[in-house]
Amino acid sequence: MTTALEAGYRHIDTAAAYANEREVGLALAKSGLPREEVFITTKLWNADQGYDSTLKAFDLSMQRLGLDYLDLYLIHWPMPARNLFVDTFRAFAYLRDQGRIRSIGVSNFEPDHLRILIDAVGIVPAVNQIELHPRLQQSELRQVHAQLGIATEAWSPLGQGSLLEHPVVTRVAEAHNRTPAQVLIRWHMQLGNIVIPKSVTPERIVSNFDVFTFELSEQDMASISSLGDGTRLGPDPRTFDFTG
């Protein structure tokens, strides 16, 4: 966190399930940065879905983060078999109306989940954070986002590291004198995705931020996009049902 904030990062993504909200809050407090300059996202865990339980879980997250307000709150997974995400989002809307959250959204929602949610609550999520990388490009879902006005945010944007040594990616990286990770992040940016790369290595954290001074050509973009094969590295949101 400290390395990232010093490098210029101003968007930090965490979740109750990551068990590091307290550390995120401590690092932010120690940074000396004005609160309004840093965008903090956290997520409600699956076991806490439901109206009243969401309100309680939010209070606990805020205590751990040590914040007066949250920039973005996300439902971590739809958990469709439990059928609680509508009541959960109603609690999100209440918290937003109370001024405790600036924006509310979802994570890992498929088009049918989004439509059910919007029809029931009448609120369009600001963001849908989804697994998205060159192998799983989520074209249909991104098109739905564009139609509804939902921002697309990519988790696992580097394919959990599986693409860093792919010859197509390394060839583009060498042509630009950049790292494979920088090229992949830039690919996302030029598609219009919000990108949240994960790293625990200070050098890579700094390097991953240095993506604003070069641009991929149309051919570069097409080459990387040609890697799409539909491979999902994480759980399938349509069947994932885990509260542990």
By annotation, the residues acting in catalysis are 18
Q: Is 218 exposed, middle or buried (0-12, 13-18, 19+ CB in 10 A)?
A: exposed
The DSSP string of the chain is -HHHHHHT--EEE--GGGT-HHHHHHHHHHH---GGGSEEEEEE-GGG-SHHHHHHHHHHHHHHHT-S-EEEEEES---TTT--HHHHHHHHHHHHHTTSEEEEEEES--HHHHHHHHHHH----SEEEEE-BTTB--HHHHHHHHHHTPEEEEESTTGGGTTTT-HHHHHHHHHHT--HHHHHHHHHHHHT-EE------HHHHHHHH--SS----HHHHHHHHTT------S--TTT-----
Give the separation between CA 63 and CA 110, rounded to whole angstroms: 31
Give me the phi and psi of 230, to 5 degrees please.
80, 10
